[in-house]
Structure 1
Amino acid sequence: MTYRPLLNDLVDMAAGRAPVDLVVRNARIVDVFSQRIVEAPLAIGGGRFLGFFEAEAHATLDAEGRYLLPGLIDGHVHIESSLVSPAQFARLVLARGTTAVIADPHEIANVCGLAGLRYMLDATRDLPLDVRLALPSCVPATPFENAGAVLDAAALATLMDDPRVAGLGEMMNFPGVLAGDADVLDKIALALDRGKTVDGHSPGLAGRDLATYAAARIATDHECTTVEEMHERIALGMYVLLREGSAARDMARLAPGITPGNARRCVFCTDDRQPADILRDGHIDNHLRIAVSHGVDPVTAVTIATLNAAECFGLRDRGAVAPGRVADFVLVDDLTGFAVRKVYAAGRLVARDGAVVVDLPDHADPAVRDTVNIRPLDDTAFRLPLPTGLARVIGLQPHSLLTDALERDVPRDASGCFTPGDGLVKLAVVERHKATGNVGVGIIEGYGLRGGAVATTVAHDSHNIVVAGDNEADMLVAVRELERTGGGITLCAGGRVLASLPLPVAGLMSDRPATEVSATFAQMLSIAHETLHISRDIEPFMTLSFLTLPVIPALKLTDRGLFDVRTFSFTTVGV
């Protein structure tokens, strides 16, 4: 923004030559700079904090003794994983006190490339939620699958100078960093040359490898699962993003590792969080509750949720209640339950008692629709011929993204093709971006599905169609339903569709209200467990979504075939 037109008004209001817009009285203000609680009137004007003083004002707000926090900040989130549009996502999180997010649009970029990134910028431009993008660093995520786009440093350079771009998104290709891969280092340099943050992703790295990763000026990591990993990264000067999402829940393990000495290098993030979890448990306000319940000082926890994130990602005018900063703030009842009563963005009331009270414009863009483009499939598309009855099988682990590499004696029909049974289910990945006709077929154990099929276009990271079933007819019905709806999630049995959640925005996001999406999703979960008998130890849809990601051990399936993550090479299903 251009500050000069605003400065006259701010200075005149702060000096008392003009009335301020709002004075907040009877608030207990959390001062994240001095780590104290301030009880004083708070003047606001021009969407900015002006100072702690009484003033002639156009409006007043009685906080009734509640605590006033800076607006909460999510340090790393994929909005697409909420399954709703950016406007509907904003409706969810604003109501819980989150006023800014660092969003990595990695998912939509893998489907739509630069058009997807431009959509995310346009769709968030006029929202009261401040959305800063971290441009995806790994599109495609790996060379072992077919994505919808390829984004090199030259492509990212077309958007890196946008003031709403915070930097480079999570650098998942840590082997490329360690090897000095030219394309990887070009992307890192692109962000650093512009003074922007490079976000990290380094699960399991330690010692010299981790030091090498940090030497590349990668500033953060949200993949810590132990206090030891957390402390090692902080000692190297990195920020650790403590994650509490829908799949990965790390806060309870990591919160005890927060100390007075390292707290300023900690940030909260959600990564991937579904609407039902936000509606039920909250967003960054939930991190605050967990942190305090594990012994973290409440003011320290608020600092982690606000100032730390702002400083980490270069949001210099946010993250604190201080003169000149954007007047994003939250009123909560106390510093243990953090029940959000009112939320203000740039000095304007945007949410009250769990409901957004302003209009949130939804943005439509044909460039991110009609993204399911598959070659017609015939009745033999999912056949899996095997030379013998011994096969490599993907073994699911309860409540985990990791899989086991198993070998099983499997049933075959008279033509030597695998037939599901004995707890084994067929899995297929259908390329859906360029109609290549690629179909990878494999076998999974531990899913529990009987009597139908489940399919989705949410399939990390390339987001091809992934379908599981115990018969090929229902698998075909499911894939054709996704083609009809433009993407989404579907359940089929007996040759008919039982339920569908259309996700027409890139096959990843709905354009419907979050409450409606959440209700449909809950109904489909019930059908998956009760009608299709999927194990209750397995999240039916998220499990499928990650069975296609060939960077998480041990076996995964892409549109190009079965992939052994341990050796980083393709393998055969038949042994």
Structure 2
Amino acid sequence: MGDKKADLVLKNCSLVSVYTREIIPKTQISIIGDRIAYVGPDASHTIGPKTAVIDVKEKYVSPGFADPHVHIDQFVLPSELAKKSLLCGVTSLFSDPIDIVSAAGYKGFQEFLKLGENLPIRIFQVVPGGLPVDRKFSNSKTLSLTQEKSAIKHPHVLGLGEVFSWTKVTLRDPKTMKSISSMIDNDCIINGHTAGASEKKLNAYVSSGILSCHEPTNYDQVLDRLRLGMWIMIREGSIRRDLKDIIPSVLSNKIYLDRLMFCSDGLDPLDITKYGHIDHCIRESVKLGLEPIDAITMASRNCFDYYKMGKDLGGIAPGKLADILIFDDLKNVKPSKVFVG
């Protein structure tokens, strides 16, 4: 109501509303601390003598982007990826540290968690799921059930990472099933990996409580999983590039977009320098015919809805954390300013 004055006001914004699928002109946004306090036509009641006011000059303003599935530890330290990702408008990373845990176990997980703290980007972690892939042929380390339960008590640890040996689910491997059960009991997210699974096996996998996958490489695989209630992270990164084989058919078949996201799965330094990060996914999808506002929604709101974090992140609205981007061109998104809280 203006009783407490804003620290920052952005005026003359062309607001990209991921809630109503519209561009709202001449919007003003008030920010107090790390939260948005007001979004509307007139924020004058929130402006005090110490309030900084930035005239955006009718540039586009959107929520920060998220990468919902990335293996940071395959290539770089979190601090190094943060430097590049922020320039691409990515304000949140959802990390699955398979490599560091395979080599260093629970101690490695704890250290990697620390490396993601106190950075100018939000890094959320999951406990790697399904390590080792096959105990007969792998000496990779993993977390015990007790360590998993301890790990998810940390506010930035959201659940279980991709359970990439899906046969452990269909064959009901005891350790895997206990991990999944524990995560469900604690209302945690469980990420999936369903490459090669179909029909009965895919149904069994989904029925265990695993509701996402980043492995579809074509539209038919996307549709099979959407029909079973899964969320799909369309991969475009250094491991594979699947956008061109999925987006055109998504558009021609006019399916719902609310369970679709973009993810990198992992980016090496050369690729992020040459192409970008999630901003590249938006630009490429727009070239393939996706409406810019839909691409931005997939890059922001959909990710946080999947992770059950929509109360705090994913859009620009009162009460939300102030992760905000400013850019000139809706069809060629390249952030000129990035705010993280």
Same fold (TM over 0.5): yes
CA gap 1:50/1:258 in 2 versus in 1, 3 angstroms: farther
The aligned residue for residue 115 of structure 1 is 107
8 Å contact 2:239–2:265 — kept in the other structure? no
The aligned residue for residue 36 of structure 2 is 49
Deviates more, 1:59-68 or 1:238-247: 59-68
Indicate the structure whose relative CO is greater, using CA pairs within 8 Å and at least 6 residues apart.
2
Count residues with an aligned counterpart. 331
Distance 1:162 1:42 in 2: 32
Give the aligned CA root-mean-square deviation in angstroms. Answer: 1.3
Query: Residues 525-561 of structure 1, C-alpha deviation per residue, up to 9 Å, x if partnerless?
Result: xxxxxxxxxxxxxxxxxxxxxxxxxxxxxxxxxxxxx
Q: Which runs of 5+ in 1 are unaligned?
A: 1-14, 347-575
Identity %: 30
The aligned residue for residue 19 of structure 1 is 5
8 Å contact 1:234–1:262 — kept in the other structure? no
Distance 1:41 1:248 in 2: 40
- Map 1:97-136 → 2, pairs under 5 A: 97-136=89-128
Aligned residue identity for 1:100: S
TM-score normalised according to structure 2 size: 0.94
TM-score normalised according to structure 1 size: 0.56
Deviating 4+ runs (over 6 angstroms) = none
The aligned residue for residue 74 of structure 1 is 67
Secondary structure of 2:147's aligned partner: helix
The aligned residue for residue 269 of structure 2 is 275
8 Å contact 1:48–1:325 — kept in the other structure? yes
Distance 2:247 2:144 in 1: 37
Aligned residue identity for 1:103: S
The aligned residue for residue 258 of structure 2 is 264
Distance 1:19 1:60 in 2: 12
1:62 to 52, 55, 59: 55
8 Å contact 1:69–1:321 — kept in the other structure? yes
2:288 to 274, 277, 294: 294
The aligned residue for residue 336 of structure 1 is 331
- Map 1:102-251 → 2, pairs under 5 A: 102-251=94-243
Distance 1:257 1:210 in 2: 22
8 Å contact 1:49–1:321 — kept in the other structure? yes
Aligned residue identity for 1:278: I
Q: CA deviation at 1:152?
A: 3.1
Query: Residues 60-79 of structure 1, C-alpha deviation per residue, up to 9 Å, x if partnerless?
Result: 11212211110000010000
Distance 1:274 1:257 in 2: 28
CA gap 1:139/1:130 in 2 versus in 1, 3 angstroms: same
Aligned residue identity for 2:169: V
Distance 1:257 1:301 in 2: 15
8 Å contact 1:327–1:345 — kept in the other structure? yes
Query: Residues 428-466 of structure 1, C-alpha deviation per residue, up to 9 Å, x if partnerless?
Result: xxxxxxxxxxxxxxxxxxxxxxxxxxxxxxxxxxxxxxx
Distance 2:117 2:133 in 1: 27
Query: Residues 489-546 of structure 1, C-alpha deviation per residue, up to 9 Å, x if partnerless?
Result: xxxxxxxxxxxxxxxxxxxxxxxxxxxxxxxxxxxxxxxxxxxxxxxxxxxxxxxxxx
- Map 1:358-437 → 2, pairs under 5 A: none
Distance 1:67 1:198 in 2: 34
8 Å contact 1:231–1:257 — kept in the other structure? no
Would you say 1:320 and 2:307 are equivalent positions? no
Secondary structure of 1:20's aligned partner: coil
Aligned residue identity for 1:33: Y
Distance 1:21 1:231 in 2: 46
8 Å contact 1:140–1:151 — kept in the other structure? no
Distance 1:48 1:324 in 2: 6
Distance 2:145 2:249 in 1: 36
Secondary structure of 1:145's aligned partner: coil
Secondary structure of 2:81's aligned partner: helix
Q: CA deviation at 1:151?
A: 2.1
Would you say 1:310 and 2:304 are equivalent positions? yes
Distance 1:95 1:25 in 2: 22
Distance 1:137 1:153 in 2: 11
Query: Residues 187-234 of structure 1, C-alpha deviation per residue, up to 9 Å, x if partnerless?
Result: 111211111110000112111111111111101000000100001101
Greater C-alpha radius of gyration: 1
Secondary structure of 1:33's aligned partner: coil
8 Å contact 1:24–1:62 — kept in the other structure? yes
Distance 1:121 1:263 in 2: 32
Distance 1:76 1:107 in 2: 14
8 Å contact 1:230–1:257 — kept in the other structure? no
Query: Residues 386-415 of structure 1, C-alpha deviation per residue, up to 9 Å, x if partnerless?
Result: xxxxxxxxxxxxxxxxxxxxxxxxxxxxxx
Q: CA deviation at 1:148?
A: 4.5
Q: CA deviation at 1:121?
A: 1.4
Distance 1:254 1:115 in 2: 39
Distance 1:315 1:41 in 2: 24
Distance 1:207 1:148 in 2: 31
Secondary structure of 1:69's aligned partner: strand
Distance 2:4 2:169 in 1: 54
Distance 2:60 2:338 in 1: 12
